Homo-oligomer: A and B are copies of this chain.
Amino acid sequence: MEQGQTLGEKPGHPPAQPILHEVRTAETSAAHLLPKLQAMKESNPHLTLLDVGSGSGTISVSFAKLIPDGHVTGIDLNPNILGRARAVAETAGVKNIEFQEGSVYKLPFADETFDITFCHQVLVHIGTPWDALHEMLRVTKRGGIVAAREGDYETESLWPEHPELSKFHKLMAGLMSAGGGTPTAGRQLLSWALKAGVERSQITLSYGTTSYSTPSDRKICSQGLSDQLRGGSLRTKALKFGLGTETDFEEMAKAWEEWATRDDATLAMLQGEILVQK
């Protein structure tokens, strides 16, 4: 249910989206990369890592903690989120990190700058993800790693069923598609890496999961989504694209609140994960 870093937040107005985004860390959202990162760190403690679409920075900050003698750069298309990311780093007492504005299609770095280039829930939202992967490969050193993790929204698996929550699923898929994204990103990630010009033998594909099932996780999920439906960027975009009315969104928000109270409630989806050895 991580809606991606590109949906945008208003400065000065703490958005609801970070409720879902800011629980994310390298451990929850880059587990497929961590064994490789640890192995690389053993031979070079001064690793440099680029986190593309760093959003509110919680994943970037946890990467920076994992490589205290290295350096992390977070980059995001949305300049309004950079202040939040810097505050997250400061609160965590993390110094080996910087955040800047930039597009994954035109990364403001020389060829072969980083040991590791990572993104999560970025390619799912953009029109030509293979171009983004090609650009991520460009700024990565030879012998380095490009890692990506992208949700497969069409595997979303919700219980109990509820007509309003089915409508919500369609709304989210519609929003992704309207924005040029791909609701089946997870299953296409391998094909995008091949299209970016690498060989199959350079790619390790795996699958992870995102889920909300414990009482506290259900509350985080329900609150994040109902807040978005009542006043977040999700609502703004959905209204702009004509994907529903204010009444529809209120019904969906209520359904999420009801869902969160149920002991049998669960929500899960697949995440496609790749490591590309440059």
Q: Which residues of A contact B (CB under 8 A)?
A: 152, 154-160, 184, 186-188, 190-191, 194, 200, 205-209, 211, 213-215, 263-264, 266, 268-270, 272
The residues of B that contact A158 with a CB separation of less than 8 Å are 187
* Contact status B159-A191, CB under 8 Å: yes
> Which 9 residue pairs spanning A and B have beta carbons closest together?
A191-B264, A155-B155, A207-B209, A200-B263, A159-B187, A157-B187, A205-B213, A207-B268, A207-B211
The residues of B that contact A214 with a CB separation of less than 8 Å are 205
A272 and B152 CA atoms in complex are apart in Å by: 17
Asked whether A194 and B154 contact (CB < 8 A) given A207-B268, A268-B207, the answer is no
Q: How far is the CB of A49 from chain B (nearest CB, A)?
A: 26
Q: A207-B268, A268-B272 are in contact. List 19 more A-B contacts (CB 8 A).
A: A152-B157, A152-B268, A154-B157, A155-B155, A155-B156, A155-B157, A155-B270, A157-B184, A157-B270, A158-B187, A187-B266, A191-B264, A200-B215, A205-B211, A205-B266, A207-B209, A209-B209, A266-B272, A268-B270
Copies in the complex: 2
27 A-B pairs in the complex with CB atoms less than 8 angstroms apart: A152-B157, A152-B268, A154-B157, A155-B269, A157-B184, A157-B186, A157-B270, A158-B187, A159-B187, A159-B191, A160-B191, A186-B268, A187-B266, A190-B213, A190-B264, A191-B264, A200-B215, A200-B263, A205-B213, A205-B214, A205-B266, A207-B209, A207-B211, A266-B272, A268-B270, A269-B270, A270-B270
A204 and B263 CA atoms in complex are apart in Å by: 12
A46 and B213 CA atoms in complex are apart in Å by: 33
Q: CB-nearest residue of chain B relative to A215?
A: B200
Q: How far is the CB of A64 from chain B (nearest CB, A)?
A: 28
A251 and B187 CA atoms in complex are apart in Å by: 23
A160 and B208 CA atoms in complex are apart in Å by: 19
